[in-house]
Copies of this chain bind each other. A is one copy, B any other.
């Protein structure tokens, strides 16, 4: 999970030096990011491939199950990916180690608990434990969100040293998801210095209005992996005071996870 080796530009966009594979994955991304099934021509206008080429590429992706074609001939992301991903998830050691801690945190707070890892300039949600009281929140597992507007993202960033922090947030574009979203690197940096001071981060409707959370950072001993835990709830139920009250619990959970990692992943190497 060590990103930012070379080949990753400041804006997070990668150089595609991977020949055929790069082009095909770009297509997968294109279809995955679309709002719905795409027709051949839609894809044609967005990818800048010639018709013949695109046609063959799509056929290959379909043949491998990475894309599917619906009855109207439109393309959508295939279920094969779900199967591959489920194994990735099930075998993820970090997730497995964290799970009981998340569960415990949920038992105490009775609100949704998330686990996410820092991946370039994004947070990828690895797990969640959710209560029955809530209307099932749109599932977050696997979802990638910007660092600057999520509790886990900001918490994870706060655990970086200044130089790495600078490279990570260089070239970030600050999209205003809500009225509370931070606007620029300056605001982010000052929030982060406060997060460092107190040891935990808040997200007060900065990503999704009506949703707030408190999060704490997790870092592996070697510093290669950065992650975070959070407790999230709807603003009408969760006040800044209750977030404040949960903060020590979240920090404690993060620390227990780090301890467990040291014990179970440390010995190797």
What residues make up the interface of A, taking CB atoms closer than 8 Å to B?
1-2, 7, 14, 17-22, 24-25, 28-29, 32-33, 35-36, 60-61, 63-64, 66, 68-69, 71-72, 76-79, 81-91, 99, 103, 117, 119, 124, 126, 131-132, 136, 138-139, 141-144, 222, 224, 268-269
| Contact indicator A79/B21 (Cβ below 8 Å) | no
| Contact indicator A79/B117 (Cβ below 8 Å) | yes
Chain B residue at minimum C-beta to C-beta distance from A70:
B1
Query: Complex: how many Å from CA A20 to CA B25?
Result: 13
Chain B residue at minimum C-beta to C-beta distance from A24:
B21
| Contact indicator B18/A21 (Cβ below 8 Å) | no
User: A64 contacts which chain B residues (CB < 8 A)?
Assistant: 18, 21-22, 25
Q: If A17-B63, A21-B20 touch, does A82 touch B124 (CB 8 Å cutoff)?
A: yes
Residue in B7, B69, B87 whose beta carbon sits within 8 Å of that of A63 in the complex: B7
Q: If A66-B25, A136-B103 touch, does A143 touch B77 (CB 8 Å cutoff)?
A: no
Interchain residue pairs with CB less than 8 A apart (23): A2-B71, A7-B63, A18-B60, A18-B63, A18-B64, A19-B60, A20-B20, A20-B21, A22-B60, A25-B64, A33-B87, A76-B91, A77-B87, A77-B88, A79-B88, A79-B119, A81-B81, A81-B88, A82-B89, A83-B144, A86-B139, A86-B143, A131-B132
| A257–chain B nearest beta-carbon distance, Å | 17
| Contact indicator A87/B19 (Cβ below 8 Å) | no
Q: If A79-B88, A88-B81, A117-B79 touch, does A63 touch B32 (CB 8 Å cutoff)?
A: no
| Contact indicator A142/B68 (Cβ below 8 Å) | no
Query: Complex: how many Å from CA A76 to CA B83?
Result: 15
User: A25 contacts which chain B residues (CB < 8 A)?
Assistant: 64, 66
Q: If A18-B64, A90-B139 touch, does A81 touch B85 (CB 8 Å cutoff)?
A: yes
| Contact indicator A224/B60 (Cβ below 8 Å) | no
| A37–chain B nearest beta-carbon distance, Å | 8
| Contact indicator B29/A72 (Cβ below 8 Å) | no
| Contact indicator A83/B21 (Cβ below 8 Å) | no
Give the interface centre of A35, A138, A268 by most chain B CB atoms within 10 Å.
A268
Chain B residue at minimum C-beta to C-beta distance from A59:
B18
